């Protein structure tokens, strides 16, 4: 069987070929704010990777004689109540934000996508069971769901990641289910089945990759949301435990000294906001670039 | 339509039932003992294992999970949500005190979100690409990004501690002291409204842009109608339908935000009660609150779905 498909005459005058990857990059980098987001995210990743080299001080070293110092040359963002350098703590904080974001999202994406894929592919009672369960989880605000799980498991890094991971599952499952429902109706799936492919092969080799683009956008967007939720949990005292340098916990600790040293709270909050904003903007850019309706046009 | 509504109501009840089971299991299967958490360490030393067993028996914690769930759910059907382990008070009484407060805050924030977000979205869509659109869009993107508890701390620092324009925190019923109540509400409501305003604005903008591309809008322009007529009479009506979805999403979001904002501003609403009851593993209260929240969210989403068909005659339910 030949793989070549010859077009009947008349249709051969196809629009000029535009390289898919070049188009993607052009649309993706079209807006300044997306480029800004990419730069910030790269900075964020570099900071997290090389925190010990960048941070001027040890984030856990206590100097009681330097408690609550205002910003100065020695301590650019001042010191907290135990005399620890705020800037160094923020730099180390990138590690927690990143770790929580990546692992919680990873748990949610894997579990959610598999559930959604099964629900969408098999339909019927499988779909009904899985999706009703997801609906009932979605009846809660995400942070409340995470709060219930984290509250039961207890505070701590590992539990926060598990709690947020569980709380994010329904979103992925619903998205994947919708995608799988529409992708499985395509003729190439029918063709694959007529060639004798099994369910697992069709699901993971053919349906799954075709469902990915909107999910990639969702993962990028959710990175910011997850980091915000982690900060929220830490703020409520059910997140990463106190001595660890995490942004949410730092905001919460600084809250007590907001009258005298507002920077203790304001600086980590601002950093969090900038990073979340960047992930959202990059997600926006990805969505535009992956939008199939725009394919071949710009 | 009637059949559709009945089927959706039936599904909503199933979803709520599953929700109660999930929350119930989560609370009871995960480690931790509310009776021990309730006691101070000195109390614990004086309490014999028999007394603890008696307390567990009193709250029904020694029965099997299935029986406990059955007891709870049959109470719920009769309007009894059980007794709080921590406060030794009926859960319904605790909820009667806290729900109106959160409802007050939340309604103001949601209504504010629509009043401010909608016109901004329309303006941005009509003036697409102009400086006003650019500024508002960036602000909206920041609005969906800002950690609201942090925003609360920032506002508190600026307007309450530095400028001393507003009271630092607390809540007063508007029926007791309207002026103080309003002043206390400004900052928390603002924080809660930031996300709805921003999200409604983004949604309105994109759905209006979609509508403005339609043929019937071109027809309206070519008839020589004024811009205001085209926008308000022809585009707006259709552009607003997708925005409706946000009512449901907004409520979930505001409840989630209330948990944080009520903690920042020390407001005795449902959110703070929830945090407190979870930290102390007060099962009955947590279950009661989650049931109420889930019911509200499911019902609102149901109403939104039904109103879709009423607003858009092209949608027919089968």
Concatenate the DSSP letters of all residues of A4-19 into one string.
--PPPTTS--PPPP--
Phi and psi dihedrals of A196, rounded to 5? 95, 15
Closest by Cβ to A273, choosing from B147, B259, B294: B147
| Contact criterion met (CB < 8 Å) for A266 and B294 | no
Q: What is the pLDDT of residues A41-95, one digit of tens each?
A: 999 888 888 878 877 777 777 776 776 677 777 777 777 777 677 788 888 888 8
Say if residues B317 and B309 touch (Cβ distance below 8 Å): yes
Interface of B with A in 11-70 (CB under 8 A): 11, 14-16, 18-19, 22-23, 26-27, 30-32
The per-residue pLDDT for A3 is 55
Model confidence at A17, in pLDDT bands (50, 70, 90)?
Answer: low
A208-236 and A263-290 helices, crossing angle to 10°: 170
CA B280 remoteness from chain centre:
22
Report residue B192 as tokens. Answer: 């809660």
Output DSSP code: residue B166.
Answer: S
Distance of CA A44 to the CA centre of its chain: 14
Q: Mind listing the pLDDT tens digit for each residue in B69-112?
A: 888 888 888 878 777 877 778 888 888 888 899 998 999 999 99
Q: Which residues of A touch B260 (CB under 8 A)?
A: 143, 232, 235-236
Instruction: Give the span between the Cα atoms of A224 and A222, in whole angstroms.
Output: 5
Rounded to an integer, the average pLDDT of B19-31 is 76
Q: DSSP assignment, residue A155?
A: S
Tell me which chain B residue has its CA closest to the CA of residue A239.
Answer: B279
What ipTM is given for this predicted complex? 0.80
What phi and psi values does residue A85 have, to the nearest 5 degrees?
A: -70, 120
User: Inter-axis angle of helices B178-212 and B148-155, to 10 degrees?
Assistant: 130
Task: Answer positive or negative: Cα dihedral of B101, B105, B110, B112.
Answer: positive
> Phi/psi zone of residue A261: left (φ > 0), alpha (ψ -120 to 50 degrees), beta?
beta
Q: What's the N-to-C CA distance of chain A in angstroms? A: 35
CA distance linking residue B105 with residue B110, whole number of Å: 9
Chain segment A153-195, per-residue pLDDT in tens = 777 788 888 888 988 898 889 888 888 888 888 888 888 888 8
Each residue's pLDDT tens digit, B256-305:
889 999 988 888 989 889 888 887 778 888 888 888 888 888 888 888 87
Q: For chain B, how far is it from start to end, CA to CA, in angstroms? A: 7
Element (H, E) at A228: helix A208-236
Question: A111 pLDDT exceeds 90?
Answer: yes
Q: Band of the pLDDT at A297, cuts 50, 70, 90?
A: very low
Dihedral Cα A173, A178, A181, A185, nearest 10 deg: -140
B168 touches chain A (CB under 8 A): no
Chain A residue with Cα closest to B149 = A232
Q: Where are the alpha helices (DSSP H) in B59-90?
A: 65-77
What predicted TM-score, i.e. pTM, was given to this entire model?
Answer: 0.81
The neighbour count for residue B132, using CB atoms within 10 Å, is 14
Q: Which residue, among A144, A266, A287, would best test binding to B if mutated, counting the most B CBs under 10 Å from its CB?
A: A144
pLDDT digit string, tens, across residues B215-235: 888 888 888 888 888 887 778
B200 touches chain A (CB under 8 A): no
State the DSSP string of A240-288: S-TTS--HHHHHHHHHTTTTT-THHHHHHHHHHHHHHHHHHHHHHHHHH
Q: Do residues B304 and B245 make contact, with C-beta atoms less than 8 angstroms apart?
A: yes
A258 contact residues in B (CB cutoff 8 A): 153, 156-157, 161
- Whole-angstrom distance, CA of residue A25 vs CA of residue A20: 9
User: Do the Cβ atoms of B252 and A140 come within 8 Å?
Assistant: yes
Q: Nearest CA of chain B to the CA of A251: how many Å?
A: 7
The first and second tokens of residue A77, run together, are: 């963002």
Q: Identify the residue whose tokens are 């914690």.
A: B61
The percent of residues above 90 in pLDDT, for chain A, comes to 6
What is the C-alpha separation between B40 and B148, in angstroms, rounded?
34
A212 and chain B: CB distance < 8 Å anywhere?
Answer: no
pLDDT number for residue A296: 47
Tell whether A38 is within 8 A of chain B (Cβ): no
> Where does the pLDDT of residue B189 fall: very low under 50, low under 70, confident under 90, or very high at 90 and above?
very high
Residues of B whose CB is below 8 A from A33:
138, 141
Q: Is B290 an interface residue toward A (CB < 8 Å)? A: yes
With contacts defined as CB-CB under 8 Å, which chain A residues touch B293? 139-141, 144
């Amino acid at each position: 069987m030949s793989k070549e498909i010859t077009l009947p005459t008349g249709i051969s005058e196809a629009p000029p070929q535009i390289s898919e990857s070049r188009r993607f990059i052009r649309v993706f980098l079209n807006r300044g704010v997306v480029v800004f987001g990419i730069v910030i995210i790269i900075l964020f990743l570099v900071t997290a990777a090389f925190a010990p080299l960048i941070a001027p001080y040890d984030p856990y070293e206590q100097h009681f004689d330097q408690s609550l110092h205002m910003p100065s040359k020695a301590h650019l963002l001042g010191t907290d109540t135990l005399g620890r350098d705020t800037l160094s703590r923020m730099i180390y904080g990138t590690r927690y934000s990143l770790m929580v974001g990546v692992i919680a999202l990873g748990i949610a994406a894997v579990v959610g996508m598999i559930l959604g894929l099964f629900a969408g592919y098999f339909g019927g009672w499988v779909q009904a069971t899985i999706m009703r369960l997801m609906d009932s989880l979605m009846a809660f605000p995400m942070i409340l769901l995470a709060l219930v799980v984290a509250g039961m498991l207890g505070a701590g890094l590992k539990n926060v990641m598990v709690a947020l991971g569980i709380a994010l599952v329904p979103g992925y499952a619903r998205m994947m289910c919708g995608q799988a429902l529409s992708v499985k109706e395509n003729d190439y799936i029918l063709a694959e089945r007529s060639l004798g492919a099994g369910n697992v092969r069709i699901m993971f080799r053919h349906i799954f990759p075709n469902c990915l683009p909107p999910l990639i956008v969702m993962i990028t967007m959710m990175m910011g949301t997850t980091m915000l939720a982690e900060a929220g949990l830490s703020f409520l005292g059910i997140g990463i435990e106190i001595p660890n340098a995490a942004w949410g916990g730092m905001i919460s600790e600084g809250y007590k000294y907001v009258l005298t040293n507002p920077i203790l709270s304001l600086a980590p909050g601002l950093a969090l906001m900038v990073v979340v904003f960047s992930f959202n903007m990059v997600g926006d850019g990805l969505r535009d670039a992956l939008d199939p309706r725009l394919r071949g046009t710009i | 339509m009637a059949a559709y509504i009945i089927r959706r109501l039936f599904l909503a009840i199933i979803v709520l039932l599953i929700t109660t089971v999930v929350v119930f299991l989560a609370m009871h299967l995960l480690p931790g003992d509310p009776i021990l958490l309730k006691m101070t360490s000195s109390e614990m030393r004086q309490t014999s294992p028999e007394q603890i067993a008696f307390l567990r028996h009193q709250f029904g914690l020694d029965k099997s999970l299935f029986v406990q769930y059955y007891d709870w759910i049959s109470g719920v059907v009769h309007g009894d949500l059980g007794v709080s382990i921590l406060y030794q008070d009926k859960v319904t009484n605790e909820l009667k005190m806290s729900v109106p407060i959160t409802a007050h805050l939340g309604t103001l924030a949601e209504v504010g979100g629509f009043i401010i977000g909608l016109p901004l979205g329309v303006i941005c869509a009509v003036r697409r690409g102009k400086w006003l659109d650019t500024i508002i869009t960036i602000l909206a993107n920041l609005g969906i990004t800002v950690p609201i508890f942090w925003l609360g701390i920032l506002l508190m620092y600026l307007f309450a501690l530095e400028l001393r324009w507003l009271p630092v925190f607390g809540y007063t019923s508007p029926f007791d002291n309207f002026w103080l109540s309003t002043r206390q509400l400004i900052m928390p409501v603002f924080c809660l409204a930031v996300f709805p305003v921003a999200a409604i604005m983004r949604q309105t903008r994109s759905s209006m842009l979609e509508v403005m591309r339609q043929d019937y809008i071109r027809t309206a322009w070519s008839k020589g109608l004024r811009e205001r007529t085209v926008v308000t009479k022809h585009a707006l009506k259709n552009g607003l339908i997708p925005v409706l979805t946000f009512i449901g999403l907004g409520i979930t979001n505001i409840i989630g935000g209330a948990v944080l904002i009520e903690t920042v501003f020390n407001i005795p609403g449902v959110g703070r009660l929830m945090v407190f009851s979870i930290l102390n593993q007060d099962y009955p209260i947590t279950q009661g609150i989650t049931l109420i929240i889930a019911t509200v969210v499911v019902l609102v989403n149901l109403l939104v779905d039904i109103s879709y068909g009423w607003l858009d005659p092209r949608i027919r339910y089968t």
